[in-house]
Amino acid sequence: MESEEGVTKIIRNKQVILRDYVSGFPKESDMQVVSSGTIKLKLPEGCEGVLVKNFYLSCDPYVKGRMTKRDPGSRYLDSFNPGSRISRYGVGKVWESGDPKFKEGDLVWGITGWEEYSLITGTATQSLFKIHNTHDVPLLLYWNSWYFPEGIDIYFDNVGGKMLDAVLLNMKMNGRIAACGMISQYNLEQPEGVHNLLSLIMKQVQLKGFLVFNYYHLYGKFLETVLPAIKEGKRTYVEDVADAC
Ligand SMILES: NC(=O)c1ccc[n+]([C@@H]2O[C@H](COP(=O)([O-])OP(=O)(O)OC[C@H]3O[C@@H](n4cnc5c(N)ncnc54)[C@H](OP(=O)(O)O)[C@@H]3O)[C@@H](O)[C@H]2O)c1
């Protein structure tokens, strides 16, 4: 759909809406694609935000966390409201900017909406980063990643549950565990629990939780390290991309 209001285009803005809170494994029917919405391809007068055309949207475990009903304030981010559009990292192009850090045509990544165009305003613009792509890697990379006969020095945990239990038994003395996520637990009615915590004491292992929001300032450094390694084939990555149009 496309119409003109003065010289400002109003176009269709397809969105993915959360129908209702999710318990257990998320189903397609928990969400609804709504094609009736529209957006003005013009920033509101005086707006210091950024209007972005989205190219890629991330569908990952974080989204499930916010689809679940939780008491307000009990987590670092509240649940989505049923009936509202889902938000998460995306990669897109700046359509219009009222923020001096961005200009029309810039490629950006950051928190955006599951929709064709997003108006990103207020503190949300702080999570928006300009993509310089000097390493010429696929754009979708920007929204995002044995056996140990001698034991494990450092474990970056994204799985939790049985995996974490197995790792705990195989940690080296004075090893370290960075707890980032526990995806094996998110869709269970009752968490499985971790049984081998005694290893933390016996092997003097440190386990610490991390939240990405506290490390955004290191993102540039991360790209400087990882992108050349990908280009040189020293690191590989796997992405599962679905076409939504
Ligand atoms: N601490 C933080 O600030 C922070 C921020 C963002 C994400 N996270 C956490 O980081 C982890 C990865 O998130 P992501 O955004 O990278 O997700 P992602 O790209 O969607 O990857 C999820 C991965 O988990 C695997 N997986 C799914 N269920 C599993 C299970 N029961 N046991 C083992 N593996 C399973 C999937 O394997 P298949 O593809 O084979 O299904 C996939 O490889 C999650 O635990 C998430 O909560 C933490």
Q: Are residues 162 and 206 in the same domain?
A: yes
Confidence of residue 95 (pLDDT cuts 50, 70, 90): very high
Q: Are residues 19 and 96 in the same domain?
A: yes
Which CATH number is 204's domain given?
3.40.50.720
Q: Are residues 28 and 112 in the same domain?
A: yes
Q: Are residues 104 and 193 in the same domain?
A: no
C-alpha span between 226 and 158 (Å, rounded): 19
Residue with the smallest CA separation from ligand 1 atom 19 is: 60
Q: Are the C-beta atoms of 88 and 111 separated by less than 8 Å?
A: yes
Is 229 part of a structural domain of the chain?
A: no
- The rounded Å distance from CA 77 to ligand 1 centre is 18
Residue with the smallest CA separation from ligand 1 atom 27 is: 183
C-alpha span between 217 and 236 (Å, rounded): 24
Q: How remote is the C-alpha of 87 from its chain's centroid?
A: 9
Q: Are residues 91 and 158 in the same domain?
A: no
C-alpha span between 63 and 106 (Å, rounded): 26
Q: Are residues 69 and 156 in the same domain?
A: no
Q: What is the pLDDT of residue 134?
A: 62
Q: Say if residue 50 is exposed, middle or buried (CB neighbours under 10 Å; 0-12, 13-18, 19+).
A: buried
Q: Are residues 20 and 48 in the same domain?
A: yes
Q: What is the pLDDT of residue 218?
A: 94
**Mean pLDDT, all residues of the chain:** 88
First to last CA, the chain: 14
Domain that holds residue 113: 2-143
Q: What is the pLDDT of residue 186?
A: 92
Q: Which atom of ligand 1 is nearest to the CA of 210?
A: 1
- The rounded Å distance from CA 185 to ligand 1 centre is 11
Q: How far is CA 70 from CA 31, 73, 75, 77, in A?
A: 18, 8, 8, 10
Residue 86 has pLDDT above 90, yes or no: yes
C-alpha span between 170 and 173 (Å, rounded): 10
Number of structural domains in the chain: 2
Q: Are the C-beta atoms of 140 and 244 separated by less than 8 Å?
A: no
- The rounded Å distance from CA 228 to ligand 1 centre is 24
- The predicted-structure confidence for 137-168, as pLDDT tens digits, reads as follows 666 656 553 456 678 999 999 999 888 988 88
Residue with the smallest CA separation from ligand 1 atom 5 is: 212
Q: Are residues 175 and 199 in the same domain?
A: yes
Q: Are residues 179 and 134 in the same domain?
A: no
C-alpha span between 76 and 128 (Å, rounded): 19
Is 225 part of a structural domain of the chain?
A: no
- The predicted-structure confidence for 31-44, as pLDDT tens digits, reads as follows 999 999 999 999 99
- The rounded Å distance from CA 41 to ligand 1 centre is 35
Maximum separation of any 2 CA atoms in the chain, in Å: 72
- The rounded Å distance from CA 86 to ligand 1 centre is 18
Residue with the smallest CA separation from ligand 1 atom 6 is: 62
Using a pLDDT cut of 70, give the percent of the chain over it.
90
Out of 7-11, 25-29, 235-239, least confident range? 7-11
